[in-house]
Amino acid sequence: AIILAVAVMIFASNPVGDFIDRHPTLRMLALAFLILVGVVLIADGFELHIPRGYVYFAMG
């Protein structure tokens, strides 16, 4: 299953990369999503609980 997943990711990387290059607003949305997830993980590391409802609302 892992080998199959890696093969799919390798073959899908170029079309997905081309799509992201054509739509820069989607790139910004993806970066904002990654930053939000990173902030939540760092806060959890410092034992600062952020209610998941707030995070889900920010993503929606």
pLDDT tens-digit map of 26-49: 999 989 999 999 999 999 999 999
Q: For residue 5, what pLDDT is reported?
A: 96
Tally Cβ neighbours within 10 Å of residue 12. 10
Q: Is residue 52 part of a domain?
A: yes
- DSSP-derived letter for residue 58 is H
Is residue 48 domain-resident?
A: yes
Q: Does some domain include residue 1? A: no
3-state secondary structure of 50: coil
**Contact (CB, 8 A) for 36 and 58:** yes
pLDDT value for 59:
85
Range of the domain at 42: 23-60
Confidence of residue 60 (pLDDT cuts 50, 70, 90): confident
Q: Looking at the chain, how many residues does it have? A: 60
pLDDT > 70 in the chain, percent: 100
Within-domain flag for 43: yes
Answer yes or no: is 7 within a domain. no
* Domain assignment present for 46: yes
Domain-located, residue 3: no
What's the structural domain count of the chain?
1
When pLDDT is cut at 50, 70 and 90, the band that residue 14 belongs to is very high
